[in-house]
Structure 1
Amino acid sequence: MKKRDFYFDNVRFVLTFLVVFGHLLRPYITDSPLNYALYMSIYLFHMPAFILVSGYFAKGIMRPGYIKKVAGKLLLPLIIFQIIYSFFYFWIEDKESITVSLLIPEWSLWFLLSLFFWNVLLFATIKWLKPAAAIVIAIIAGLLIGLIDESIDMLSIGRTFVFFPFFLIGYHLKKEWFAPLFTLPVRIVLLFTAIGLFLFFYQHTNIQIEWLFGSRSYEELQADPLSGIVWRSLIYIMNVVMIAFILSIVTHKRFFFTTWGQNTLYVYLLHGFFVQSSRHVDSLELPPSLFALFAAASILTFILSSPITASLFCPVLEQKRPGFLMKKGDRIT
């Protein structure tokens, strides 16, 4: 029996925690250079790294029925949660009417739609292009999508093209290529580079955070086409450096939270209800303390990635019976 590699479970858990922490931190970055620099540093890598890892585990894409299976696991939960979030925002923001749109994903739901599109694009690139050519074309497309004047938030088009290079690179990565990241010299270089980027953002708090979202056109970011492409190129470079940094410091050892790294999608989809509630309900507002935000993110991540949560919500996200109704031999993967 093949021994499970705990490394990627740890990576996914750490990245998911940082997604939650980053969302909780967002309201407190305006007046704090420290919080701003921390937020920007996290956003340079947490989703790009998550997407890269997702691509790494898409190596079975050429199997018959793979795309159909992916569509069922991503698009059905997307529609369900899109409707739920519409009702949730109607209540939490005290709106006059309920608006349900399947064209613009609510908040973090963009990831589900983009993940489906990435798989489709990956299938096409594998079939028609060599890896190097596909990656170059994907990067060029990611740079050029910002030139569109219309909203690129529709159907998550902007994020799909901006982040597709990471999914594609992840797919083509081989396990042995990660080895250099764990050598001491590389770790030291990456650590000091990460510190340098943090200090850069600490000193330059006027950079729009939307540059890291991938959902805005260059025009919306008040940039002309040339400067927009240059900025996006620099961000790609910083993305790669910070991805390498976080991957280099995650351990291969098994911890109590390691197996919970298999349930990251539950955290990603469910934490938004708690985060948005803390932003809109005064009694649920969190104190502007990094320790408090870290603690809240930890508790929320632990609860939502626990086997109990996975068991309760697997009918929606995995189209399976709840764990407590499963027969012996059934298993949530």
Structure 2
Amino acid sequence: MTSMVLRTHTREARVPEMFDASPSPGQTRAPTPPAAQPVPERSAKQRDSFFDNAKYLAIVLVAMGHSWEALYADSRVLRSLYIFVYTFHMPAFIIISGYFSRSFDMRPDRLKRLITGVAVPYVIFETVYSLFRDHFGQDGETGITLLDPYFLSWFLAALFVWRLTTPLWKVVRRPLPLALAIAMLATVSPAISNDLDFQRLLQFLPCFVLGLCLKPEHFRMVRTRAMRIASVPIVAGALAVAWLVVPHIDFGWFYRRDAAQEMGAPWWTGPLMTLALFACSVVLTACFLAWVPGRRMWFTSLGAGTICGYLLHGFVLKYTRWEGWYDAHWLHSPLGALLVTAFAVTVVTLLCTAPVRRVFRCVMEPKMEWAFKQDPAQQARERQHGERKQPVREKAGV
């Protein structure tokens, strides 16, 4: 239940708050100019290249993993890569989401952004996905139900619930052990309702809570040369283990959708697999982050559009499966797998670009001013800010 730019935080780049890569408390900022000099509005809030790079690379891994689902049955190598990537790609995405949810409280403006940036997109995409499936699909499901997330929309439903619980995790004494205990109990509780994909929501909960617990210095710790060197044998060992266990393991463990009993396993394996997968996902996420560049790259700006890439690539993926694109025999070969992977990377990259974000901003983060009361505190802050700026504007001759 999913990765997460030193550039101007413009209106064009605004995306749902779930992946805001603005500098976090404790990160280095440029010194504040003297009060007599007007500060350009666009320099007040800059994005962090590292997190935008991480988000883009994580969403690329998500798209790659999805593209292999129709091919891995023919290749042990591809199945091994599949479970290796699935061990950490969504956990990395969720950890970053939790990290940027640390400041969430029940303040009216933040609740408004939670509704417009998460709840409304969930309703829209769950509806559109259901209609898309009914028209093109062959999954045997029909109709629209907002309580049963279809395909990728589960993440929005989970993020809405996780973020609402953020104030609770900030006041409990041991948030991460508590979240792990809840996830472990979920794996032995097949009676948990499927509404809002609740089983997956609970089993991925520790990743979100871990993100809430992290501080900027934790990310600096994994971005060292020593960590990059150490990550090489760790990743090699993880790939070797994946190769060894892939014929014997149920892939359902990596999806976190079912309790142990629903997968035909003894109940006690659920808590053990919860701890094992969480440990593996944290270690591999650290290895992944160790190699994420911190400087501006050609793909850095795409990190602002990862939610577009995540939600929209599902339509391409499902359509190609339903229309039989994978039926070609030559695709089920090493060269075919490489071409499919390259296609998936290209598609998700294009879907993260600024033109796509502009087109879908109306559904990704609608303003909906008509639906909300005006916040008196926010209006007072804006008036006070305007009063402070006026003398500066006059002095500057504006």
Would you say same fold, with TM above 0.5?
yes
Q: Which one of 304, 307, 311 corresponds to residue 351 of structure 2?
A: 304
Classify the secondary structure of the residue corresponding to 1:220.
helix
What is the CA–CA distance in structure 2 between the aligned matches of 1:115 and 1:68, rounded to whole Å? 15
Classify the secondary structure of the residue corresponding to 1:147.
coil
| Kept after mapping to 2: 8 A contact 1:152/1:215 | no
What is the CA–CA distance in structure 2 between the aligned matches of 1:96 and 1:244, rounded to whole Å? 39
**1:164 to 2:205 alignment:** yes
| Kept after mapping to 2: 8 A contact 1:61/1:119 | yes
Kindly state the Cα deviation for residue 235 of structure 1 after the two structures are TM-superposed: 0.9
AA in 1 matched with 2:350? I
- State the Cα RMSD in Å: 1.9
Kindly state the Cα deviation for residue 3 of structure 1 after the two structures are TM-superposed: 4.9
Q: State the partner residue of 1:327.
A: none
What is the CA–CA distance in structure 1 between the aligned matches of 2:193 and 2:83, rounded to whole Å? 22
Classify the secondary structure of the residue corresponding to 2:104.
coil
What is the CA–CA distance in structure 1 between the aligned matches of 2:96 and 2:222, rounded to whole Å? 15
Q: Which one of 172, 188, 196 corresponds to residue 229 of structure 2?
A: 188
**1:141 to 2:188 alignment:** no
AA in 2 matched with 1:142? A
Kindly state the Cα deviation for residue 164 of structure 1 after the two structures are TM-superposed: 1.4
Unaligned runs of 5+ in 2: 1-42, 369-398
What is the CA–CA distance in structure 2 between the aligned matches of 1:306 and 1:24, rounded to whole Å? 20
| Kept after mapping to 2: 8 A contact 1:24/1:293 | yes
Kindly state the Cα deviation for residue 285 of structure 1 after the two structures are TM-superposed: 5.7
AA in 1 matched with 2:359? L
Cα pair distance change 1:224/1:152, threshold 3 Å: farther
Cα pair distance change 1:43/1:208, threshold 3 Å: same
**1:35 to 2:78 alignment:** yes
Mapping for residues 170-249 of structure 1, pairs under 5 Å: 170-205=211-246, 206-249=248-291
CA displacement 1:151-170 (0-9 Å, x = unmatched): 55321211211111111111
AA in 1 matched with 2:292? V
Q: Pick the structure with greater CA Rg.
A: 2
Which structure shows the higher helix fraction? 1
AA in 2 matched with 1:274? V
Mapping for residues 3-42 of structure 1, pairs under 5 Å: 3-42=46-85
Q: State the partner residue of 2:361.
A: 314
Q: How many residue pairs are counted as aligned between the two chains?
A: 318
| Kept after mapping to 1: 8 A contact 2:190/2:258 | no
Identity over the aligned pairs, expressed in percent? 27
Cα pair distance change 1:151/1:32, threshold 3 Å: farther
Mapping for residues 283-294 of structure 1, pairs under 5 Å: 283=325, 287-288=331-332, 289-294=336-341
Kindly state the Cα deviation for residue 175 of structure 1 after the two structures are TM-superposed: 1.0
**1:265 to 2:320 alignment:** no
AA in 1 matched with 2:122? L
AA in 1 matched with 2:341? F
Q: State the partner residue of 1:295.
A: 342
